[in-house]
Amino acid sequence: MTRTLQIRGLMLSLIGLGVVAALVGGATVAFYGDVERSTGNTFTAGGVELHVDSVSHYNNMVCTEVDENTYQWQPEAGFDPSSDHFPQAGTDCDGTWGETDLVDGVHKFFNFLDLKPGDQGEDTISLHVYDNPAWGQFLVENVVDQDVTCTDPEQQAEDGACADDADGEIDNYLTFTAWLDQGAIPGFQCGAQGPDNAQCDTDPTEGDNIFQDTEVVFWDGVKAGDLGPFDLAPLLSSAYDSYGCADDGAVDGNTDYDVCHGYAADGRMVPSVTYYFGLAWDLPLDETGNDAQTDTYQADMVFRVEQHRNNPNPFAGSTVVPVPTMTLDVAPLTLTATTGEKVNFVASLSGDLPDFPNRTIAVSDNGGGGDFFLGTTAGECNSTTVDTDNEFDINLNRGICYQNSVQGVYTVSVSALDGPGGSVVGTPVDVSVTVDNSTI
């Protein structure tokens, strides 16, 4: 009984629920509502792509496309080769191509198989980064340096130690010099891409394969055996500082092809910029010995780029040749000024910092009182333009670099700058100057 009642009670309860549901379902109900839909949500990876082009020069000849995919040596402008000049006009050549992705074994910057002492050449190379800013790096890989064969003169020069499969000696003589072929205006104003569009009207000397005094050398006679990985960021960043781009340019390097276009504060490579580099080589006539005969130096030249964003330490794991530092030496460190005298000291720069044009020495008052000053015209106490390792005098003339009728001891800071108004390189040196006359 109990069980039957319990079941009947359950059935009645279920019937009751069904009635309620039916009553609710039969009613008319309206709800307020709204729908917002975001469609087509997509994640697409950005890209960084590098294209390279090149124009090859060799002994005053330039490798020129004379027909589709046919390249021959032609005289450079103003050069009239003799009948025995090497190479002869009209002979086939390598090393010139338009903007492209490099193909192994096809695109060779240098392919010279019969070098002689005195030969020299240059490649004007341009790099193009697309889509996103990137860090840049240049590497030399897979080096082959062999004697190949041993001629009698080579055996004599090496005291009989020449061996066909041993290390060659040509890399001890073959040198490379590289510079930013920006032309006369800081940065890269020639927006048209490819070597045929270099030397635009805005800057006719940009990408012209000729080193101008306003351009930055970052390899100066480096021997082939010493070439190694080189990061472009310190070089481009130093150019940003050297040319005063903080005043004339943009931090991100994009000035719409105006001054400093392509020079960013942190040295990134900027999309839309055609970066021109001059890469010259020389097998010196007076220095190359017989031990280099028949030797071969072969290597892969590699240009790498990595994304700039979210990448504060690019090219992890690669051993990079750092931008060297500069040392400033000043002597003497204690000077005395008397009536009508010049106060002279010699400052010398040493090291191997890339050779920025207009490197100067700046003199400033460290005493804080302002009695010792730079004069009424900017640069009156600065040296003339100097190069690495040159010595020069800075004359602190009366009435120019210190005020008249002032005596006392002043601490003067001497600094090397990588250009007018540029960054200090090396460590400044303090010089104590005593003015011991009441009448100067």
Q: What is the pLDDT of residues 199-214, one digit of tens each?
A: 688 888 898 888 887 7
Comparing CA positions, the residue from 164, 128, 167 lying closest to residue 144 is 167
Which three-class secondary structure state does DSSP give residue 44? coil
Average pLDDT over residues 109-119: 91
Q: What share of the chain is helix, strand, coil (3-state, %, to 5)?
A: 15, 35, 55
Bond before 87 cis per omega within 30 degrees: yes
Which three-class secondary structure state does DSSP give residue 172? helix
Backbone CA torsion sign across 180, 186, 192, 196: negative
The Cα-based distances of 105 to 111, 301, 342 in angstroms read 11, 12, 63
Comparing CA positions, the residue from 249, 231, 232, 230 lying closest to residue 240 is 249
CA separation for the pair 154, 158 (Å, rounded):
6
N-terminal to C-terminal alpha carbon distance within the chain:
132
Q: How much is the pLDDT for 92?
A: 94
Cβ contact 387:418 at 8 Å: no
Record the pTM.
0.67
Q: 375 pLDDT band (50/70/90 cuts)?
A: very low
Cβ contact 249:187 at 8 Å: yes
Q: Give the number of other CB atoms < 10 A from CB of residue 100.
A: 14
Six token digits for residue 22: 């039916």
- Domain residue spans of the chain: 49-307, 326-435
Stronger pLDDT, 12 or 197, i.e. the higher one:
197
**Domain range 326-435, its CATH number among 2.120.10.30, 2.60.40.10, 3.30.450.40, 1.10.260.40:** 2.60.40.10
* pLDDT of 2 higher than 60: no
pLDDT digits (tens, 9 = 90+) for 215-274: 888 888 888 888 877 889 988 998 888 888 888 778 899 998 999 999 999 999 999 899
pLDDT digits (tens, 9 = 90+) for 309-329: 999 888 876 655 444 445 666
CA separation for the pair 259, 263 (Å, rounded):
9
Strand-strand pairing, 344-351 and 391-395: antiparallel
Please give the order of strands across the beta sheet that includes 326-331. 326-331, 344-351, 391-395
CA separation for the pair 137, 229 (Å, rounded):
7
